[in-house]
A and B are shown apart, each in its own frame.
Chain A
Amino acid sequence: MVAFPYYEPSDIEALNAQAVILLKLFAGRGYRREEPSVMQPAEIFLDRSGEEIRRRTFTLTDLSGHELCLRPDLTIPICKHAVDAKVPFPARLCYNGLAFRQQPSRPNRPTQFFQAGAELLGLDDSAAGEREILSLSFDALRAAGVENFEILFGDLALFGALVDALQIPAHWRARLKRHFWRAGYVETLLQRLGRTAQAVPSRAEIETRIDASKEAPSAGRSRAEIVARAMGQAEEAAALRLNPAVVGVITKLFGISGPATEAVAEIRALLKAAGIKLDAPMQAMDARLKAIADLGVDLGRVRFTAHFGRNMEYYTGFVFEVWAEAADGSIQIAGGGRYDTLLETLGAGKSVSAIGCAIRTERLLTVKNGKGAR
């Protein structure tokens, strides 16, 4: 692959022919074609996606000084439009178009690539939504001529439910969930749980300390906000000594990775040993595996990784990647997941169930033609 792809007539014809097949399949399932602008206001990405995506987003400034960007994905503009246009839910939307990403650490990766994808918004039955998107993804890949693929998946909701079930302070719950995808880092955080056990200051002591610094700039945070957090830290320090078993449960969960059926059994055993009941996420896990098997995928080709969470900050639950063999190794050809909080942050006024998938169509062709990827 090259940083700036040049499409020969044959490449474009093959991509177009493939896009027609994918979009026809999406349309047949009731998905309406959307086409957002390539150029987007930068804020909607930068405020939703965090600094890592920001770093990889091409930005530019117009003559009035407004910050613009080349869309790093199509999900956010499509969801933003659905919110602004008050599209009735459930909404089924699909697209085929270019996305743009800088590749600071991998200069040979393309800075633009085609994606064909679908978004299912506002379907409250989350298991049904998952089934629908998985079915759509697998059938789209098969319709495009790729039958052999492997699936890697994770579930942020499982980890979230585990953290909620642990007797730890709310700060630590939020912190662990935020860093779900950074297994090594979370372990470092967990080690600190033991270290912060110190003498607990009183509210009066905290207030005296902050008032001694009142000459310093408040820098956007109120006295009440700072005192509240300092009190929280104090309570945390007092509470943390109580739970030495916490570290073990989370560390063991992160270690679980392997063929889906075995991995799910391992999670069950871990939860049972720790005396933790997580019925809802475990039932979702069973339903998921059954759905994948019903869709004609051999469960031997499905792997679960507990700390797999995709480095896109809007995912909130089930996440998956589809991989296939190219001439010089395995490459990711599709991916997707659940993002139940995105529409609310885009102005929907309430949380909206949402799940989607995106297919990397150039890579799909590479796999189909038996060529190397790089």
Chain B
Amino acid sequence: MTALTIAIPSKGRLKEACNAWFAEAGLTMEQTAGARGYRASFAGLGDVEIMLLSAGEIAASLLAGDVHLGITGEDLLREAAPELAGRIHLLCPMGFGFADVVVAVSQYWIDVSTMVDLDDVCAAYALAHGRRLRVATKYAQLTRGFFAHAGISDYRIVPSGGATEGAPAAGTAEVIVDITTTGATLRDNGLKILDDGVILKSQAQLAASLTADWNAGARAACKVLLARLTAKAGVLYPGLDGQLLK
């Protein structure tokens, strides 16, 4: 019976980066036999079970308290729960998986470079066209919070399944909120990031669920695991000591 569950991305660059990060800390992952690649463990740490999930599922599992620890993008965590306080504690930025969540508009809109400009255009657009300007995004929560902070209310969110950057050209939305690393994809689609349009500078985070079952066994296993990681990362985890391991 394992005491502590940690969720790690099951595919892609995040998975490889995680594996490399753990390897540097001297932790090797071993597939659990018969688990079809969904479960694994660290050699020599029998109390810790690794669950391999998609990055989005990791955010949901941390929120639900189904796993104790998890590594996933901060953008996904903040989108899943705008209020992290009391639900998820960010322990350590991982130094990979960098991505900015940004507000982008067409380069054709030469009169728009700030959120104040966008606010003007939203209001004028609603008057001129009789409907609200549409914002395509996978980040509805982050968008609402950021737009509310900027005082913009004359807009509608259009949920986007993928290829958000194509929405203005396709005519399904006028503005987008999306992630970008270099901005190249946005530029290729004729879009530009607003000067004050960076909603979140995100990277992968090691996060703890505050709603998981932190029984004595889980806390003990967590201490052992974090001691190994601390040696690697060179940082302490005051959050865990203070909130979980007392």
Contact = CB atoms under 8 A, between A and B. Distances in A.
A104 B116 CA distance: 26
B119 A216 contact: no
A220 B153 contact: no
A233 B111 contact: yes
Contact of B153 (A175, A192, A216, A313): A313
B32 to A, nearest CB: 38
A189 to B, nearest CB: 7
A25 B202 CA distance: 57
B174 A220 contact: yes
A220 B133 contact: yes
Contacts of B151: 178-179, 182, 185
A214 B156 CA distance: 26
A324 B111 CA distance: 49
Contacts, number: 90
Interface string A317-338: 0000000000000000000000
Contact of B109 (A171, A215, A226): A226
Interface string A32-65: 0000000000000011001110110000000000
Interface stretch (A160-168, A205-213, A360-368): A205-213
A219 B128 contact: no
A350 interface: no
A247 interface: no
A52 B120 contact: no
Contacts of B107: 213, 216
A51 B124 CA distance: 16
A217 interface: yes
Contacts of B83: 105
Interface residues of B, number: 39
Contact of A219 (B119, B120, B144, B175): B175
Nearest to B117: A233
Nearest to A313: B153
Given A189-B116, A219-B174, A174 B128 contact: no
Given A52-B153, A179-B151, A219 B116 contact: no
Interface residues of A, number: 36
B110 to A, nearest CB: 5
Contacts of A10: none
Interface string B110-140: 1100001001110111001101110000000
Given A175-B120, A216-B106, A217-B168, A50 B153 contact: yes
A125 interface: no
A218 to B, nearest CB: 5
Query: Chain A: interface secondary structure?
Result: helix
A263 interface: no
A311 to B, nearest CB: 9
Contacts of A216: 106-108, 190-191
Given A217-B168, A219-B108, A226-B110, A51 B155 contact: yes
Contacts of A104: 82
A213 B110 CA distance: 8
B123 to A, nearest CB: 6
B43 interface: no
Contacts of A178: 119, 123, 151
A146 interface: no
A105 B107 CA distance: 36
Contacts of B235: none
A230 B117 CA distance: 10
Given A51-B153, A178-B123, 4 more contacts: A46-B156, A178-B119, A216-B191, A217-B169
24 contacts: A51-B144, A51-B148, A51-B156, A52-B148, A55-B144, A175-B123, A192-B116, A213-B107, A213-B110, A213-B190, A214-B108, A216-B190, A217-B169, A219-B109, A219-B168, A219-B174, A219-B175, A220-B129, A220-B133, A221-B174, A225-B124, A226-B110, A229-B111, A313-B153
Interface of A: 46-47, 50-52, 54-55, 104-105, 171, 174-175, 178-179, 182, 185, 189, 192, 206, 209-210, 213-221, 225-226, 229-230, 233, 313
